[in-house]
């Protein structure tokens, strides 16, 4: 970020925010975990400590950054709308 630029954040729920410039992908949990490969990716990511759960154990979406997967109780559609509105 350049000096003088304001950093913009995406609200993931429960007061947790993530800098928008770190977001690589916003995905829907239900539609993506049907895939065996994606399920394995999430399992390995959890084992390795790369998953942060902000969903109160009811994830509807995930936000992928370069290093972490954040789980959110907010739908992927709502998160995407928030990104477009910034």
pLDDT band, residue 2 (cuts 50/70/90): low
Q: What is the pLDDT of residues 32-41, one digit of tens each?
A: 888 899 989 9
Tell whether 63 is covered by a domain.
yes
What CA–CA distance (Å, rounded) separates 60 from 62?
Answer: 7
pLDDT at position 85 over 90: no
Tell whether 2 is covered by a domain.
no
Domain encompassing residue 45: 12-20+27-80
For tokens 């477009």, the residue is 84
Residue closest to 72 by CA, chosen among 7, 9, 26, 36: 26
pLDDT: which is higher, 54 or 34: 54
Number of domains in the chain: 1
For tokens 């949990």, the residue is 29
Tell whether 58 is covered by a domain.
yes
């Amino acid at each position: 970020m350049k000096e003088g630029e304001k950093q913009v954040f995406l609200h993931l729920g429960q007061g947790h925010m993530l800098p928008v410039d770190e977001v690589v992908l916003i995905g829907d949990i239900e539609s993506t975990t049907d895939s065996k490969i994606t399920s394995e990716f999430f399992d390995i990511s959890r084992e390795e400590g790369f998953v942060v759960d902000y969903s109160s154990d009811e994830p509807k979406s995930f936000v992928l950054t370069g290093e972490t997967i954040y789980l959110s109780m907010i739908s992927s559609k709502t998160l995407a709308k928030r990104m477009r509105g910034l």
